[in-house]
Each structure stands twice: as structure tokens, then as C-alpha cells.
Structure 1
């Protein structure tokens, strides 16, 4: 009777769980490839054996890249991710670097899901993208990850993921055991993994200097035979020690004779992992073979469940009227800082590590992303002795990226895309990190705040002259008026200033403090109060975007009173600048639909402002309370519109930039080692102005001819392929920690008709800040052209 009751409880106490990303069972899959070596057939990439792998032909000769492999899942699923595990035999040959991932329902018509460049290591990669229907998945390798011109490709395992809901089987009758558990330094027995409390965990022994070595096992005795479809593993959060990497799962009916039913490698993140298999057994054993982040010999688990009853989640088709997220871009690092280059490529960087920061190590992981190919070229910058994490960024008149402070608080590094070279600039007078810098109308770069790095407090202004290559203190440019009332004091209160170059060498500070200020960068500098931002409070890590520079229009949105552990706000305001050192007009506009901190704002060529990402409760290195739905502010109608959601959270350390084709690159988040929220990628958003109702691309105007340089105040002749109604200049941007002081937009009304037009550039360098700008032509429907890059000169 007791056995019957136990079985009854198992059957009755199954409960449905919220949706999760789960790999599709590969039992019936087949794989084909353009090339394979004898003994390394493509089917080896889907055989659930980590010790075998597909390899393109190398004997007697290598088949040159690109190489491709196609998996046929035999059924159509709504997929949103592909996992790639490089070979696990210790050799790096064939690891995929540059790549694209395409999907198809018929094997003939392919749709791009992702592109990019993978890191050269043997850790599993998971590329996530917007869900789409597919039966076939094709991975094309365009480069080999070792960057040595090698011409082969390999893969140990390929998985495809879809979103599912499923059922947990009741754990009421279970008993569990493990090969090791820590009960001295912390109370972390095996039982904690089935207690229903994700705040507790099972941890293998580490007390007394004796660490139980890998491999480890965790065993479930269900009390009677049960039928299951998979196992769920919830890893610990930060710092991530003991997350399982390589694993195997075995089942048994007597606890002595075991049969392996699954194997694989889990990604080093804190989200729940599902492995599917079909088994009827009493005993289930999860074997941890490696630690996911190579942090040590331990294993941990917050919760372990057996699952059944999987149901695929079918997402609603996104409406093109709300824009479309089209593909993911994989980076070889977490893009915590980005800058647009005059050649149309994007500079991205993290810190001394690709996924972590800390200390002052004197070098930086960088990459150049090419939107034309979707791939990145990595480079470790060592010659400037500068860890450029959490810096100030400004683009000078000649398009050079001037990076100041950060982990190496006094350093300056300069990247020139014309020579593809990094050079060391002079040290600042004050070491800084989390400061803001802005290029002013005379070509110098103003810098203020930044107590995150270097000594805390008194981070008054200084200014960099590119022509003299010197930093000069400005003793009158006091930081104290722009500080917030953060509970952590100056360490947080002078961070991430919202700075805008304006007329006669002034800089307007719009926030994040509720009090606004004018900074005069002439001579020793000065500061003049400019009133409060209406009824807004301090708005740290909110956004400010100059969407109409000649009119002095700035949109501010979101932020929170304190940098972290605080509730964000949805407040939004339009600031209108007029005479320098006078209080601007501040108008409260409708709130965003979502409260956001750590979001990003982008000025679009049609005059709207795109606000994306962030979270409603600001806590660095978390994706909880993240908002996937971006919003678009239209100043002409004074309204916000919710757009289609992205697939990946973008919170702390996320970035966003306008690209030359008028799409948006939104990426990053994390950069925290074992935190579990490192995002080595970006997504591309196509705004509604480029889309027909059916999601196809609108016909776009084309700028046929235009000069590549133009002086302030001069006329610029433009020819197009069709009639247009207006033009817009958008200065190329840079972004880190919600700040982009480089971007601003200038609407231009043309003279002329047909396909020949003339526009006049504003004459004030505080409005049309010299440097490189995107020039867009827009037709009567508001559809922009692909930009021409134009240099505005003094």
C-alpha cells in the first residue's frame, strides 16, 4: 500500500513550470556537410558523444573554407538558439571563428539567424536569436578561430533549442545522495538540491584544505520506477563556483547497473538547464565531469528536478509595424564599450579579460566588427598600458576614438581607424573611471567626474587638446554641482554625466543629477547652475539624447535615485536649450511604459528616439526585472510606442549604436566573470521606417553623389536616385554605461527638386560639432537611405 501511495503522489503532484530554453531531442536527426574526413563524418556532431567530432577533409588535402554543416531535425520547430561545442580532444584545429547560422523550413530557402565570431576556446557556445520556424539549421564556418589562416572546421556537438513548458515530477518520495557534500564551512548537503528553495544549494566538500576532486555525482532514488523525459539543473548564481560544465546522466533500476542516457556540456550561466532523454527507471545519476568556468574541483546545484510533459511554446508573429529584430551578432568578448568608426565599422572592447574586469592590468581585449560581413577581428591592445574598462569616450574632429581612464585611471589611449593603430595619449591630471567626456566646438575634449576609479571625490574638470596632445586642469569646472545624492556618496554620485557641447565653448550638463549646469570650457573653466529638470529626481544611469541639435532639443528618460539596489523610474522630459548659461525650458512628456535604468538611447534619422533595454530594479550584473520591449519616442506626436521585444536581456554594461544602414546594434551586458549574465553578442533591430506591412524591406532612396567633406556653414550638393523630402545628419556615436555624448542629430531641409538638392550645414561648431557624421536622405514616407559618411570641418 505504501508503495502504491508513493506512486500515486508522484503521479498527482506533477506541476507545470514556466517556459525555459530546452534542447530538442536529436534521436532522429541527420547531418550533412560540404566536406568531411573519413572517421569524422557530420553525424558525429549530433551523436551525443563528446569524444567524437565532425571534421572537414584534411587528409590528403584540406578543403578550403568556408565549410558548412546542415542538421535536419525531421520536424519543424520554433527555434531560438543553436549550441556549438568545439572538439574536446585537446586540439584547437577546426574551432569555428567567423560564422553564420541560417535556418530553413524546406532546405532550399534560408533565413539568416546569426553571424559573428566565436572565441578561440573549447567551451560550448550558445547563440540566441529571435524565435523562428525551422526544420533545417546550417552553420557555415568562414574562418578558423585560431586566426592563422587554417582551412578546416570541426564540431563535437551541435544542439538546437526551442522554448518549452514542461512538468516537474514530484520529489515527495525521493531520497538523494552525492559522492561529496560540504557541511562544515557551510550547510550544503545534497538534500538542498531538492528542497524547493533556490537560495540554498548542494556543494561538494572543500573544508579543511581538502577539496573533493572531480568528477562528482548526484543520485536520485525516486522510490519506485518512474518514466521521465529529461533532467533539469539549476546552477548557482554569482560567483558561479561549481557550475557543471561537461556532464553525463545515467539511469538504473537496482542502483548497481547503470545505463548512460545523455551527455553534453552546459553553458557557464545561471539560467536553468534542461537535458532531454526517455527513460523508465528508479535511480537517476547526474555526473559532473568538469566545472563550467574552470574555477576549481567543486560542483554545486541549487535545484535538480526530473521533468516530463514538454510542450513547445509557439510565439506570436511580430508585427512589422513595430520593427523587427533580424539577427544576432556573436562577439569574441562582452561589448561593454563601443564606438562607430569613420570607415563604417565598429570598435568594441571589454577589459583585460573578455568576460571580466578587475584591477589595473595594463591591456584591453578589443575587436573590430564589420557590419558588411558580420564578423569581428579581435586584438589585445598592450602598447598603451591601459585597461580601458569603464572609461570616458569621445570621438575627435578627425574621427579618432579618445579613451580616457577606467581601470587604469590616469591613462589615455587613442585609436585611429585611418592607420588601424592604437597610440598612448598623455596621462590625465586626475585619475578617473565612470567619468563622462564630450568633444566641444573648438575640438578639445572636456572631462569631468569619475570617482569609480582613482581617488574618490573632487573629480573637477580637465580638458584635452588633440592638437597639443595635453590634458589641462580647469579648476573652475567644479564637479560638486553635478553630483547626485546617491547613498554611496561621491563614489557613485559623480558618475556618467549627461554632457552636450553647445555654443561658445560651453557644455550643458543635463543630468543625471536633478540639478542641471552649464560648464564653460574656456580658460580655467567655470560652472553656472541651470535649474532643475522640472519635477524629476536624480536619474543615475538614465538616458539623454539630443535629437534636434539646431533647436537644442534633448530627450531624457528613466534612471534611478541611486546607482544600484533601487527602483528605476519611467519619467521622460524634453529640454530645450537656448542662450548659454541661462536656464533651459524643461517640458514633462508622457512617461515610458517601462521604468528603466541601465538602458540605452539612440537618435534616429527621422527625428524619433529609440530607448532599449534596462531593468526596473537596478542591480549590476543581474538580468532580473529586465525589459525586452524597446520604446520609440516621437517628438512630433509626443508619444511613446512599444516595439517588438528582443530575445536577450540588455542591462548593466549593455550598449547601443546607430549603424550606417539606419538599423540599430544593441549588445553586451554582464562582463562579470562567473556572474552568469555575460552576453557575448548583440542583436540587430530594423526600425519600422524600413519595413512594409508584411515585413519586407521598403524601397529606399539612394544618395548617388555627395562630397565627403563640408565646412561649417557651407552648402552641400547631393544627388539621389529618386525624390526625397528631407535630409538628416547624425554624428557617429560611442557608448558605454548608458552614455553616448557623441551622437546628435541635425535635420536638414533641402533646396532643389527631382534628384538634385542642396543643404546648408549649421555654422556654429557647438551645434554641428565637427567630425564624422552619417548623412541620410529621407523620402515622403520617412524611409531613410543608407548613410553616406561625411566629415564636417571647422
Structure 2
């Protein structure tokens, strides 16, 4: 078990204020490698000449992967990352793909296991000649790069023209307190992820646009990647068969766990990812071309879609619905977009974007924002629209967050956002909306404000019912990291209070994503996707919430679920065997994330009967509350510590 002193040696956090990044001078540094070819010694990666490079052995006997290069900086530094320049000649041989990065203060102790933070960064880099950057914050003298694969699968070798360490200069430094959580490690991706979805097999699906780091046009293909948190492996793929650039889409997860992606750059298209076959499947074109729309799954399994004037023409983006049984889209002529428009200065192009949608009882859809006006949508027949009043004294809150943290009670937290999509100040406002019968007026209670104004943030409900809000910026401006909020906050519904947590290393603003992982940690990644803009973030950080840490920083002993059925029907009893005493159980639906929107995630607290290690819970019987599909089941002990999530499928019957 890793104690706090070990964690602090590798992950001292740096105060946000007045930070500046510099490359460390490399005079006197030495490099060693487990393999090199004569003329391509590891010292070539430190010589300041991009025309020379370290290369593992390629003549005669080729050493098997992994290849390892280690650098001794001769003194300890506060480092905030590393940049790797691939070879710059006419060959790509040796471009590093899958990798892990370790740091040490003494050259002997490199940490514990990946689950406890051995690797400050891991993942896969793209197969090109651009500079690769892995960001993190740590104190170290020694750097070690483990090259696990060649990016183009051209051979069992590795190369690097230059290795530079980056340091962050700041007036003060603070060590992480376990009571404030811990940013564990960075995951490097071969794309800048602007959208993500949690899959029932425990992996994360991510994608950008037609390019790895940019968007634009209607190219008909998308760069994707799948990250496996259990192994750290990231696998890239270019999706061409659906003829769909899936940048700026709507996303929903079906009852059977498929991910339905609609619109965006190819604004009429639908693409469906089937995790069970690892296949992308073309879906039918929508009736209305859209981009920046939101979709939500209804209680009958159909997917509701509204808004989206970013692409496919401006205005008139009324509702339509996809039927999985017939694989068809149908217009809902009376599900009107006009009542949910904001008063954005850019007009309808921005005013119908990123709706806060929640599938609810009897096929209804509740729209909580971002407009200050709330609405109910009917999905029956030709659809219908019923006003649900104003969100208290809140204004339009474009690019804010809305999270259903207690579906049984119909409770939704909203936080942040701005009156206009961009070039505007975000707000700290937060409200709790309680919805009841469809078409009724919900109650709205103003709760404590966040400490930091945020737009472009991500909100994630945790197993214990608290809500983690991370990233964003106080003055919303796409493709910038200025005014970034690096300090996340945790909302406690029991007290109505927000708690500031330990700051992240990497800004997460426009185009960032956030998801709850199966081990009850949070993935927060992406931001940018703007070509040579300088604010592309090809990575994610993993946050360990306070409920997983002891006072000394070691990992808490977690409760465990040792036996539970893999499926359960609505209204039925689920038998659970645990490895010890627990206090309560909760379901959290697997999330999808893009542009601040996650209409899939919601939490259902469960009432348990039993004792010791034998328990039973009754799953609520309303498909509008427990939307069928794939959920994490968590057991939570008396200290509030959650188990690993067991993925179970909730079926309609």
C-alpha cells in the first residue's frame, strides 16, 4: 500500500497562480537505454540536434519490446511534463506508440502499481513526426520512458530525436491533502478527445473529428480511440464505413449498450457503435440535419433529439425520435425547439445548442436548460411541448452543467454556464430542480454557489450522491485556456455545500470530457481540437476522490461485491453478496460526454435489506427513473467508501 509520503514524492501539486512553463537546461544530463544501435546512442536524445536520434538496435539481433530510455537530470526538479521529438528524417521507424512514463528521486524507487500511481503518464501517441507531450506534476531526478509498441507496427524498435523536461515556476507549492482527493496519473491519447462514452466492457470510447487534432468540413470519417483503464492500453482507429465525421454530435446509450452518435460535421448522419462486436454500424439519416444538438433516451428505448443549429442550417430544429426496433427517425412536429432557445447574441446558431435533457416517466423528456425557461417534451404521436416555468432567478446558462444525482427523488443539480456561448463571463450559480409527474411544474431551489465561475466544465455524479464539477473557465472563449478553473469542486446534497478539491495539472475547457470510471475514479480529458491553436490536450487525468483515501494518503480498504447477477429487470429484486459489512447501495448509469452534456448518467440510491454479507435490493420499477441499459452497481460502507463498480444490465422486463 502506498502511503502519503510516497505519493508526495511523486505528485506534489503546484498552486495555480502565476505559473509559467520552461524547458530545463540539460547540461550534464546523461541518458542510458536497454538497447541502442551504434551511431544512435541514447545521448543523441539530449544533444540539442533534432537531426540525430536515439534508436534501439535494428541491425543484427533486434531486441524485443519494450525499449527503455532513462535520463538522469543530476538534481531533483519540480517537473510538469516531458516533450518527445520523434526522428525528423524521412523515416518513421521507431515512432513510439504505447508507452508508460515513470519518475524517481533516487533512480531505484519508481513507485508501486499502476493502480496506485506508478506511472505518471501512460497511453498511446500518434504515428507522426509532431512533438509528443505528456503532462503531469512531480518532483524527480530520474525520468524513464518505457516504449511498449512502435506506433506504425513497422518493427520491434523505438526512437526519439530529443527528450526535454518541462518545469513549472510558481511562487508557492502545496502538497495534496488526502481530504481533497488526488490526481493520480495522465493518460496520453493519439487524438484530442472531444467526445467520450463509457462502455459496458469497462473501456472508454473516445473520438475527435476527421483529424486527430482539428475539425472542419464534411470529410465522412472520424478518428477514434478506445482506452482500457484496466491495462492502460489505448487503441486508435479511423472510422470510415459510416461516412460520418462525428464531431459535435448528440450521444445516447441504448438499452442494449450501443452508443448512438448523431449529426455534427456530417450533420444528417447517424453512427452506432456496438461494443459487443467492436463494430461501427451506419444508421439512418435524421429527418433534420443537426450539430450541437442533444439527445436523450426515453423510457421506451427510443432516442429523442432536438436543437442543433451549429450545422445543417440555422433554426427550425424541432424534435425527432429514433426507434431502435425499426431503425428509423420520425419527426415530432409538436416538440418545438423555440421555447428552449436562449437569448444568445449570436442568434439561433447558438441559442438551441447543448440542451439539458432527461428521459423521464411515461416517455416524457424534461429540458432543464441551458435556457432559463424549462420545458417538458412528449414523445407520443406528433409530440408535444409544455412549459415548466423558469429556473428560479437563474439566467440562460449555456455550457453549464445539469446532473441527476438522485433519480428516485427526481433531483437535478445545475451549475455554472453563461448568458452567451462565448466571449462572456460564466457564473457560479447552482440550483436543485426536483421534477415529479410529467408536465407538472418542478420545484427549483437555489443552493450554495460554486467558488469558481465555470463554463465548459464537466459534472459527474459519484456513487455516494455527491457531484464532482471539474474544469471550465470563468470567461468562456472557445480554444483558449485563459481563466481556466484548475480547482474542481464537490457538491454535497446533504449539506448544500461545495468543497474545493486538489487542483488538476492540465486545463480542461472547451471540448473537454468527463466520465465516472468503474473503480469510482473520474476521467477528465481533452480540450482544444483546433489544429495549431496551442491549446490542444491529447490526454486525460484520473482523479481519485477523497472517499478512496485514508488520512495518510494510502488507499482505503474498499467494500466488495463478490456475487451479483449480471442482469435484473425493472421492479425485481437483486440479490447481492458482499465481502464484508456495507451500509448502502447505489446504481449509476454509464455516461456519455461531449460539450458539457451527459444525458445518460444518473444515480439511483437503493434501499437494501439484509445484513452481514447477504443483501437484497429492489430496483425501482419505472423505466423513466431507472432507464434500462447498463449501470454500475456500487456497495458503499459506513465510511462512505464505494466498492469497485459491478456492471449490470437493467432490462425493461
Equivalent residue number for residue 448 of structure 2 = 590
User: What secondary structure is seen at the aligned counterpart in 2 of 1:674?
Assistant: coil
1:432 pairs with 2:290: yes
- Pairs within 5 Å for 1:720-731: 720-731=578-589
Shift, 1:39, TM fit: 2.1
Equivalent residue number for residue 97 of structure 1 = 97
Equivalent residue number for residue 158 of structure 1 = 163
- Pairs within 5 Å for 1:36-185: 36-110=36-110, 111-129=118-136, 131-148=137-154, 150-164=155-169
Per-residue CA shift, 1:709-732, capped at 9, x if unaligned? 110011111111111111111000
Distance 2:310 2:138 in 1: 42
Equivalent residue number for residue 235 of structure 2 = 377
Shift, 1:143, TM fit: 1.0
Per-residue CA shift, 1:316-354, capped at 9, x if unaligned? 111111011111111111100000111000110011111
Distance 1:486 1:124 in 2: 38
1:349 pairs with 2:207: yes
Per-residue CA shift, 1:263-309, capped at 9, x if unaligned? xxxxxxxxxxxxxxxxxxxxxxxxxxxxxxxxxxxxxxxxxxxxxxx
Distance 1:34 1:62 in 2: 12
Distance 1:723 1:580 in 2: 39
1:559 pairs with 2:565: no
Deviates more, 1:713-722 or 1:603-612: 713-722
Structure label with greater radius of gyration: 1
8 A Cα contact 1:600 1:655, kept in partner = yes
Distance 2:79 2:411 in 1: 42
Distance 1:523 1:725 in 2: 44
1:386 pairs with 2:391: no
Shift, 1:455, TM fit: 1.6
Shift, 1:38, TM fit: 2.0
1:396 pairs with 2:254: yes
Distance 1:358 1:407 in 2: 7
Equivalent residue number for residue 466 of structure 1 = 324
Per-residue CA shift, 1:599-657, capped at 9, x if unaligned? 11001000000011111111111111111001000001110000111011111111100
Distance 1:686 1:64 in 2: 35
Shift, 1:147, TM fit: 3.6
Equivalent residue number for residue 479 of structure 1 = 337
1:20 pairs with 2:20: yes
User: What secondary structure is seen at the aligned counterpart in 2 of 1:45?
Assistant: helix
Equivalent residue number for residue 747 of structure 1 = 605
Q: 2:279 aligns with which of 408, 416, 421?
A: 421
User: What secondary structure is seen at the aligned counterpart in 2 of 1:504?
Assistant: helix
Shift, 1:749, TM fit: 2.2
Distance 1:621 1:333 in 2: 16
Shift, 1:490, TM fit: 0.9
Distance 2:266 2:139 in 1: 47
Shift, 1:56, TM fit: 1.4
Per-residue CA shift, 1:171-217, capped at 9, x if unaligned? xxxxxxxxxxxxxxxxxxxxxxxxxxxxxxxxxxxxxxxxxxxxxxx
Distance 1:433 1:18 in 2: 37
Equivalent residue number for residue 3 of structure 2 = none
Distance 2:153 2:317 in 1: 42
User: What secondary structure is seen at the aligned counterpart in 2 of 1:491?
Assistant: helix
8 A Cα contact 1:592 1:631, kept in partner = yes
1:791 pairs with 2:649: yes
8 A Cα contact 1:78 1:314, kept in partner = no
8 A Cα contact 1:658 1:733, kept in partner = yes
Unpaired stretches in structure 2, ≥5 consecutive residues: 1-16, 111-117
Change (3 A) 1:717 1:768: same
Distance 1:387 1:578 in 2: 38
Shift, 1:375, TM fit: 2.6
Shift, 1:373, TM fit: 2.1
Shift, 1:18, TM fit: 5.1
Per-residue CA shift, 1:88-124, capped at 9, x if unaligned? 2221111110011110111121132101111111111
**Relative contact order (alpha carbons < 8 A, sep ≥ 6): 1 or 2 greater?**
2
User: What secondary structure is seen at the aligned counterpart in 2 of 1:321?
Assistant: helix
- Pairs within 5 Å for 1:553-702: 553-702=411-560
Per-residue CA shift, 1:2-38, capped at 9, x if unaligned? xxxxxxxxxxxxxxx9542112211111111121222
Distance 1:33 1:332 in 2: 25
Distance 2:308 2:153 in 1: 37
Shift, 1:788, TM fit: 0.8
Please provide the CA RMSD for this pair: 1.1
Shift, 1:558, TM fit: 0.4
Distance 2:541 2:620 in 1: 34
Distance 1:96 1:758 in 2: 49
Distance 1:93 1:414 in 2: 35
User: What secondary structure is seen at the aligned counterpart in 1 of 2:456?
Assistant: coil
1:710 pairs with 2:568: yes
Equivalent residue number for residue 348 of structure 2 = 490
Equivalent residue number for residue 34 of structure 1 = 34
User: What secondary structure is seen at the aligned counterpart in 2 of 1:481?
Assistant: helix
User: What secondary structure is seen at the aligned counterpart in 2 of 1:335?
Assistant: coil
Distance 1:333 1:19 in 2: 26
Distance 1:758 1:70 in 2: 53
8 A Cα contact 1:438 1:501, kept in partner = yes
TM (normalized to structure 2)? 0.95
Distance 1:669 1:161 in 2: 20
- Pairs within 5 Å for 1:514-553: 514-553=372-411
